[in-house]
Structure 1
Amino acid sequence: MKAEDLFHFGMVTDDPSAVRDELSNLLGYSWGPEVGGPVSVALPSGDAVVTLQCSYSVTTPRIEVVTSVPGTMWQATSGVHHLGYWSDDVDADVADLERRGYTVEATRAAPDGGLFFAFARSRTGLLVELVTRAAEPGLSGCWAVQR
């Protein structure tokens, strides 16, 4: 993992429209489409399907606004929920974070059997999302300028 691989700050909220509007009105942010749907994830409590909805800012630094999912790690917080990084090897990076004392809170399998994404939390509370760099071409459509 490298600092330059940071590609977004994630915020989780009960009112994503209000958060996007506030960031637009205050700071001039523009937004890509809202995307999402049911996602199969592995949680410490077992496998689950959660409905994840989010939108990314077109404006940088990029912000991801996620709709809260009660009873999961995707619950509304004040401020930054997580830092999202591209990873060339999510499995290896997760193993490295675990060696450093991070606890894995959620993962999603990739079609190739590896990890598509993983969320891991440090002892101090920092939540890091690792996303396979192979997803970058598809995800970049989430912050393409809308016309």
Structure 2
Amino acid sequence: MKSSDQFHVGIVVDDVAAAAAELSAVFGYQWCEEFGGPAQVTLPGGDAVLDLRATYSMSVPRVELVQRVPGTLWEPAADSGVHHLGYWSDDVAADSAELSRRGHRMEALGKRPDGTPYWAFHRSGTGPRIELVSRALQPLLEQYWETGRRPS
């Protein structure tokens, strides 16, 4: 893991459309279509299906707006608004284990149908929440950022 793998800042909001409109009006951001839906997620208390929805800015620096999911880690961050820093990972399982070894507790893990982790959220007591995202998703996300449309 290296600092140059950081590619977005995530903000959890109550209303994605309203937050996107405000950031567009103030800073000129352009936004991709919203994506997401029911997702199988492993949480500390076990597996769950959550409705995870978000959008990314087409503009850089890249911002991700995530729809609030009450009662989960996807709640708006108090005062600052910043929820997480997103990093590319060549091996989500190994990088996740390394973060855990360093005291960053795992809060959520997304797995492909074959069980392979492709994203993870970790939190330490002293720093920001970290999202690891499989670099295998990079070509799809780059297409999404370029066109603003969800890959088909």
Matched residue, 2:10: 10
Q: Distance in 2 between matches of 1:61 and 1:13?
A: 18
Output the amino acid matched with 1:40: Q
Contact 1:83 1:129 in 2 (8 A): yes
Helix, strand or coil for the counterpart of 1:32?
coil
Matched residue, 1:145: 147
Q: Give CA-to-partner distance per residue, 1:71-118, whole Å, 9 cap, x none.
A: 111112241100011100111111111111000000011345321100
Shift in Å, 1:125: 4.6
TM-score w.r.t. structure 1 length? 0.94
Q: Give CA-to-partner distance per residue, 1:13-47, whole Å, 9 cap, x none.
A: 10111111111111111001100110000000110
1:89-100 residue pairs with structure 2 within 5 A? Answer: 89-100=91-102
Structure 1: runs of 5 or more not aligned: none
Matched residue, 2:19: 19
Identity %: 54
Aligned match for 1:136, one of 135, 138, 148: 138
Aligned residues, how many? 147
Contact 1:33 1:143 in 2 (8 A): no
Structure 2: runs of 5 or more not aligned: none
Shift in Å, 1:136: 1.0
Matched residue, 1:103: 105
Alpha-carbon RMSD: 1.5
Helix, strand or coil for the counterpart of 1:144?
helix
Matched residue, 1:57: 57
**Range moving further from structure 2, 109-118 or 59-68:** 109-118
Output the amino acid matched with 1:109: K
Q: Distance in 2 between matches of 1:109 and 1:146?
A: 25
1:37-56 residue pairs with structure 2 within 5 A? Answer: 37-56=37-56
Aligned match for 1:122, one of 121, 124, 148: 124
Q: Distance in 2 between matches of 1:3 and 1:129?
A: 13
Shift in Å, 1:139: 2.2
Shift in Å, 1:142: 2.9
Q: Distance in 2 between matches of 1:146 and 1:73?
A: 27
